[in-house]
Structure 1
Amino acid sequence: MNWRSLDDFLAMGGYGLYVWGSYGVTLAALAVEAWRVRQRLRTARAGLADFEDEEAPR
């Protein structure tokens, strides 16, 4: 497919909203997943630190 302008490229032959919307939703899902992974890692590390403090010999 040949595009004559940036507008033609972004319109994607009439399917631009679907194509770019799909990219947007995918990017948003990946960003949320990365954020949640960081949260879970931080929570797991805090829990491990608490566990190690409780198990440390006194």
Structure 2
Amino acid sequence: MIETDGPFVDYRLGNDEELAAAVFASRIVEPMAAQRITPDAVRRLEEVFGELLDRLFS
């Protein structure tokens, strides 16, 4: 997962697990804002977790 701008840019140097956890939490707390602010990270999370996210956020 690569995020080149926005609030998750600091995770670039960390690991994918930390970024995925941060994006997932943001997606739960503020789903619309997360998609607006970090569309690439949210899109990647949706690609990886697909159906699970559909059930959680529907």
Q: TM above 0.5, one fold?
A: no
User: TM-score, normalized by length of structure 2?
Assistant: 0.30
Determine which structure has the larger helix proportion and give its number. Answer: 1
Structure with max Cα Rg: 1
TM-score normalised over the length of structure 1: 0.30
Using CA pairs below 8 Å that are at least 6 residues apart, which structure has the higher relative contact order?
2
